[in-house]
Structures are given as structure tokens and as C-alpha cells.
Structure 1
């Protein structure tokens, strides 16, 4: 699986317009693209940040879709977005078989590592981190995105509701502290978002 992420910042008062447009026009555009396998929209309403993810069965399907989405994206995010950053990753770990989520919480961790340590980052997360995350109360899914060439990654952990997200901070911090040493990665940012919608269909 492969993903494209869009990170936009803007006026919090205009965020609702972007959410509605993405959930209607944006979703319809994505569904029309070959190889589309789901999408997620995550927001921080107080800060005015929006993080969206689209899932693709291949890197080729993702890249081909961007020819259309690149042209339509400014209109979809208008008038909210003041800045927009688009990135591509390989989804090396992703939620399987969970129900679509709405209204929960997501914690996003941004990672940097030496490109040669990409496999170590994957192995550490898959074998050591994921099993410990799965027993946190309210856990609803997790994903690991890697850019092996640039040495960058994202970890997204989903929780069923805001209370579970809030209550997981101490336990998740301990897991994170122990795992970054084993994986030889650096945490460069940590954010939390409300889940507007999250759904991935691997098959």
C-alpha cells in the first residue's frame, strides 16, 4: 500500500468549509481514481490544521491520481488553506479490518532516521511497538509510513474517542521513548487530531 498525505494550515474559522468540501467533492474525485483504497481526514480545530491521507494499491496509481488532484486541491481547500504540504510514503503497516472511524482521536508522530535504518524502523514497530499499542484502552488502529530515500516516517495511532486519546498519553510516551532507541530514529514532531473520517480498504 502507498499513501499521499496533505498537511494544510489556515484560519480555524474557515476549517469547516474545507472539511465539508473534502468529504463531498474531494471524496468523489478520489473514488473515481483507479487504485484508490480509502482516505482519512484529521483536524485540529483550535489551531487550524488539517491532515489528510489517501491510500493507493500501488505507487503508480497514487502518482497518476495526483495529476488530477494537484489541479483540484487548491479549490478543495479554499478559502481555508494558507499553506499546503504534500508528501508521498510507503504504508508498511496499516489498519486491517477495522470499521471506519469518525469522531475519535489520532496521535501523529513524525520521525527521521538514516535511510539505511528504514528496515530497522519497520521491524521495531511491527514486532515491538504495535503489540504494545494494541493493548492501550480505546486503541483502534495504527499505521507506519516510510520514505526510505529521505529517511522520514510517520506513525499514526487511532483511538476510538477523545477520552481514550487523552488517557493514552503516558503509556504511549513510554512506548515511544523505549522504541526510538531500538529503532535508531528521532522524533521531530508530535501532534494530536480529531478524526473526521478514517477508512482504508486493503482489498
Structure 2
């Protein structure tokens, strides 16, 4: 599968307006597009950050949806968004224990690597990092998104609630340190979000 991420920052007081638009008009727009496989919405209410992920069954389907979504996105995010960044990734690993639910937590690591190490990263994450994550209480899902061409990736770990998200920080830090060294990747950003909505259909 393939994903498109939209990362927006803005006034925290206007965040709920954008969430309502994305979960109504935005979802209707996506549902009309061929190859659509679901969408997620995550927020940091305190700082005013919004992350959305749309899932597609092929790179072509994602590309074909670009024009209409690019045209409609500004209106959906008004008046919240002050900055908007759009990125595209391949879903390299999708390991689900249970479906994440609203109110749960997402920890997101942004990583960089040499493009030639993309397969090493995917293999290491699947064989070595995911088993370590599975020992963390409350883990619901672990995903790895790759941009092979530019040597960028996202690692997402989902927890059933914010309490388990907080309790996992030390354990995941150790696994992240070990995995990054083994896979030759550099972690450039670490963030946490509240899960607002997720209905990705990987099967």
C-alpha cells in the first residue's frame, strides 16, 4: 500500500474546525476516489498540530487523487492551518495487534537514511524492532513508511490509550536506539499525537 501524509500547524483554538471538515467533506471526497483504503486523523491539541494519512492500494491511485485533493485541501483546513506539508510514502511494514481507537496515542519518529539502505531498514524494523515493540503493554499497531528515493521514513507506534503511550517511552527509546544503529538510520524528530480517527484497511 501507499500513503499520503498532510502535516499542518496552526492556531490550537481552530483545530476542531479542521477536524470536523476532514471527517465530513474530506472523507466524502476521499471515498469517491478509486483505490482509496481509508484515512487517519491525529492531533496535538496543545501545540496546534494536525497529521492526516490517506491510504491507497497503489501508487497510481494515490497519484490520481492528488489534483482534486490539492485543490480542496486549503478550504478543508481553514481557518486552522498556517503551514501545510504534504509527503508521499510506501507502506513497508504494517503490523497490527488490534485496531487503534479514538483517544489512543500515536508516537511518530521521523527518520533519514541513505537510499541504498532502505531494504536494510525495512528488514531490520520487521525482524528486530517490531518484536521489541510487541513487549510494550498497550501496543496496538506498528507501521513503517518509506520514501526510498529521498531516504526518509516515518515510524508510527499506536497505543490503546494515552496512559500506555506515556508508560512506553523508556522501553521504546531503548528499542529505537538499538534499531536505528542496526539499520543505519538517523532519528530527526520524535512526536506524540492523540488518535482522533483511523480506518485504514490494510487487507
Using the size of structure 2 for normalisation, the TM-score is 0.98
User: 1:34 is paired with a residue of what secondary structure?
Assistant: coil
Gaps of 5+ in 2: none
Once the two structures are TM-superposed, the CA of residue 99 in structure 1 deviates from its matched residue by: 2.8
Matches within 5 A, 1:1-203: 1-96=1-96, 98-203=98-203
Runs (4+) of structure 1 moved beyond 6 Å? none
User: 1:200 is paired with a residue of what secondary structure?
Assistant: coil
After TM superposition, the structure 1 stretch with the greater mean CA deviation from structure 2, 179-188 or 95-104, is: 95-104
The Cα offsets for residues 82-122 of structure 1, whole Å up to 9 and x where unpaired, read as 00000000001124473352110000000000000000100
User: 1:108 is paired with a residue of what secondary structure?
Assistant: strand
Once the two structures are TM-superposed, the CA of residue 168 in structure 1 deviates from its matched residue by: 0.3
Cα distance between partner residues in 2 of 1:164 and 1:49: 21
Cα distance between partner residues in 2 of 1:82 and 1:61: 28
Cα distance between partner residues in 1 of 2:180 and 2:97: 28
Using the size of structure 1 for normalisation, the TM-score is 0.98
User: 2:47 is paired with a residue of what secondary structure?
Assistant: coil
Aligned-residue RMSD, C-alpha: 1.0
Contact 1:5 1:53 in 2 (8 A): yes
Once the two structures are TM-superposed, the CA of residue 199 in structure 1 deviates from its matched residue by: 1.9
Aligned residues: 203
User: 2:67 is paired with a residue of what secondary structure?
Assistant: helix
Once the two structures are TM-superposed, the CA of residue 135 in structure 1 deviates from its matched residue by: 1.9
